[in-house]
Amino acid sequence: MVSSQARRDQVALAMERGHSQRQACELMEMPRSILRYQSVRAERDAPALDAMRRIAATYPRYGYRRVRIFLGREGHAMGPQRAHRLWRSAGLQLPRRRPRRRGAASRPRPLPALGPNQVWAYDFVHDACANGQKLKCLTVIDEFTRECLAIDVAGSIRSGRVIDVLSRLISEHGSPAHLRSDNGPEFVSTAILKWLSEAKIDTALIDPGKPWQNGDNESFNGKLRDECLNMEWFRHRTEARVVIGIHRRHYDEVRPHSSLGYLTPTEFRRRYVALFGGGVTADERASLPASSSYSDGAAVCTECHDDEHAMAVMSGPHGMAAVAVCLVFCLIIGFSNLERARA
């Protein structure tokens, strides 16, 4: 099939050889209006392309789906297909990561959170400054809202400092029902286990050598390293604390989260509180079992369209809790999509 541009070139060649425009168009079997047509796609896409390149330069590890959310905030609303076309035309493809092999867990995971402040997860991320100083970052997240509650940066963090960070977070946000972590010495020391017992907070230690059981926190740590630690050059610890603190606020308040329907964690918490008023009560929480064999609410939500999967989840030992998590995510994200459609 001959393209329109090729036909226009042939018409121009025929006109150079003495044919009139009408005769040349009849020879090419094309209407004369095509000669005067000027595509407006490039002119229409130029502002969005400039904004996309600028956002991609600011956040080099963001893909086109997340960049599309930022474009919508700046007034360049578009669908996923157009965003993908512009992304490819601008040559902004990200390198694919090699998938890691994962083994199956040998014991059930603790029950996923049904609301904010029910399950916190914490872990460490290590890095170094340009002057050789070591960085040890304690990250604490809320598994339900995906909020990063704190990133404590120091050269060495022992159990006493972990207790200080948790005490400060509890004074600001309230006490969680569970704390999920690996079996690091800072998390299983006598001091912190005694403090958790006095604070009436249950521990949810994962199996040794299976970090995917603490998947939400490991995912956040990977994003922290990919989008901040690998992108910045810290001259000393003080600068690292400031830059990492700015990144934490950006993650909570600006960065869209794919598992939350591309809402920010702060916006997701705000909508949850507006719909449900503050979460599951203490009596409802106490009536729930202590562990479950299924994944978190976001994973259940992505598969709730499958009837066989839904029946398998509901027939499981904690099926109603899984359905509750799924409905909460669907309801909040559904309201978000409705507001976007109205806008």
Q: 3-state class of 229 per DSSP?
A: helix
Lowest mean pLDDT among 33-47, 97-111, 136-150, 216-230: 97-111
State the pLDDT confidence band at 294, using cuts at 50, 70 and 90: very low
Q: Which CATH class is domain 116-255?
A: alpha beta
142 bridge partner residues: 120
CA distances from 91 to 63, 65, 83, 137 (A): 12, 15, 12, 35
135 bridge partner residues: 127
Q: Tell me: the pLDDT tens digits for 311-341?
A: 443 444 444 454 455 555 566 665 555 555 5
Q: 3-state class of 33 per DSSP?
A: helix
Pairing state between β 134-142 and 119-128: antiparallel
Angle 49-52-58 from CA coordinates, rounded to 5°? 145
Question: Could you say which DSSP state residue 212 is in?
Answer: G
Task: Check: CB of residue 124 under 8 Å from CB of residue 138.
Answer: yes
Q: 3-state class of 115 per DSSP?
A: coil
Amino acid 254: pLDDT: 93
Amino acid 291: pLDDT: 34
Amino acid 186: pLDDT: 87
Total H helices, total E strands in the chain: 15, 7
- Provide, rounded to the nearest whole percent, the portion of the chain with pLDDT above 70: 75
Residue 129 has pLDDT above 50, yes or no: yes
Q: At what angle do helices 237-253 and 215-224 cross, to 10 degrees?
A: 120
Residue 296 — left, alpha, or beta (φ > 0 → left; ψ -120 to 50 → alpha)? beta
Number of CB atoms found within 10 A of residue 106's CB: 8
State the pLDDT confidence band at 122, using cuts at 50, 70 and 90: very high
For residue 32, give both structure tokens: 């004369």
State the pLDDT confidence band at 43, using cuts at 50, 70 and 90: confident
Residue 24 has pLDDT above 50, yes or no: yes
Mean pLDDT of the chain: 79
Amino acid 39: pLDDT: 73
Q: Which of 38-42, 128-132, 202-206 has the highest mean pLDDT?
A: 128-132
Q: Tell me: the pLDDT tens digits for 142-163?
A: 999 999 999 999 999 999 999 9
Task: Check: CB of residue 297 under 8 Å from CB of residue 112.
Answer: yes
Question: Could you say which DSSP state residue 287 is in?
Answer: T
